[in-house]
Amino acid sequence: MTILVSGGAGFIGGNFVLDWLVQHDETVVNLDKLTYAGNLDTLQGLRGNNRHVFVHGDIGDRELVSDLLSMHRPRAVINFAAESHVDRSIHGPGDFIQTNIVGTFNLLEAVRGYWDGLAEDEKQGFRFLHVSTDEVYGTLSKDDAPFNELNRYEPNSPYSASKAASDHLVRAWHHTYGLPVLTTNCSNNYGPYHFPEKLIPLVILNALSGKSLPIYGDGQQIRDWLYVRDHCSAIRRVLEAGKLGETYNVGGWNEKPNLEVVHTICAILDELRPKADGSRYSDQITFVRDRPGHDRRYAIDARKLERELGWRPAETFETGIRKTIAWYLDNQDWVRNVTSGAYREWVGKQYEVEL
């Protein structure tokens, strides 16, 4: 048996592919466009593994996707492919519209054509799992209940609006054409192989390099933090037993303000990699101008996933963040390869700090 994974060289998709090949004996066809955040170094350990078939390509290329489906005949497609950084969507929303909306449409159409041609028993077993975000629900106040699957969509950034549109397309292809779909909406992921434009890897790497640790606004924006390998296990469980047409929220039950997250990272680095001069990493914290339309709080109610499919995260934030920091300390070659000059220019522009 075979599955097709789109976006499988990115952060979450790459972790999913690595974990899948440990957990299952099925082949993975991995389709990735290799934009700035797609990194084949993440998959270096799979070189020579005949159960991993990498294809450089775009989900928006309907002919390519159709050819791959016809050739490999997967029993499932898991769609991670997306432009996913809010800050980049503010500066350049066009790429987000093209990949997250138009790309998802073309992928759905290629998959629908393939699914329509399957034998009846194969059609019954086939699944299309779409990986999305809690940001489609908008923002919460401090006292609001966490997002559940019945919350209405209120996206506030070009990124979240484009993901909301893709979610609606997936839902429509199920209700209109009968395509057997599943959707997951996850909270903020962190862990190994995370591209260092996002908060946690940026703070770890800047701290170790003696650079500023930029914090938007007052740093009190609250996020629910989900260790990436917990997310991968949740996706496997939804793929295995999720009810067709349903949405499942995936959260870590770890709400933390950004400033607390940064102080936690600094304290662990003080312990694991103390500075030679005896100073603390938290001395490098710098507050910068808040980004436009910055959502104040995200929180996920993942009780449906626990109630119906028996899933809960294995990691607390305290255990997951230690594993994450240790991974970055132990994998400096990966870090050096991913932090190109273009990346440094982007971070300097976005946070208005010298790098």
Domain-wise residue ranges, the chain: 2-190+226-253+293-314
Which pLDDT value is given to residue 343? 45
Give whole-number Cα distances, 231 to 78, 130, 226, 335, in Å. 13, 13, 7, 22
Which pLDDT value is given to residue 35? 83
Q: Which CATH superfamily includes the segment(s) 2-190+226-253+293-314?
A: NAD(P)-binding Rossmann-like Domain (3.40.50.720)
> pLDDT by residue (tens digit) across 73-102?
999 999 999 988 788 889 899 999 999 999
**Token couple for 340:** 């190109």
- Quick one: what percent of the chain has pLDDT higher than 70? 95
Residue 115, C-beta contacts closer than 8 angstroms, at least 6 positions apart: 123, 126, 128, 179, 180
Question: How many other C-beta atoms are found inside a 10 Å radius of the C-beta of residue 277?
Answer: 5
In angstroms, how far is CA 90 from the centroid of its own chain?
A: 18
**Amino acid identity, position 246:** E
**22 three-state secondary structure:** helix
**216 three-state secondary structure:** strand
Give the span between the Cα atoms of 119 and 117, in whole angstroms: 7
Catalytic residues: 134-135, 159
- Which positions of the chain have pLDDT values less than 70? 340-355
Which pLDDT value is given to residue 352? 58
Decide if 237 contacts 312 (C-beta within 8 A).
Answer: no
How high does pLDDT run on average in the chain? 94
> pLDDT by residue (tens digit) across 309-345?
999 999 999 999 999 999 999 999 888 888 765 544 6
Which pLDDT value is given to residue 351? 52
Which pLDDT value is given to residue 345? 61
Question: How many other C-beta atoms are found inside a 10 Å radius of the C-beta of residue 257?
Answer: 15
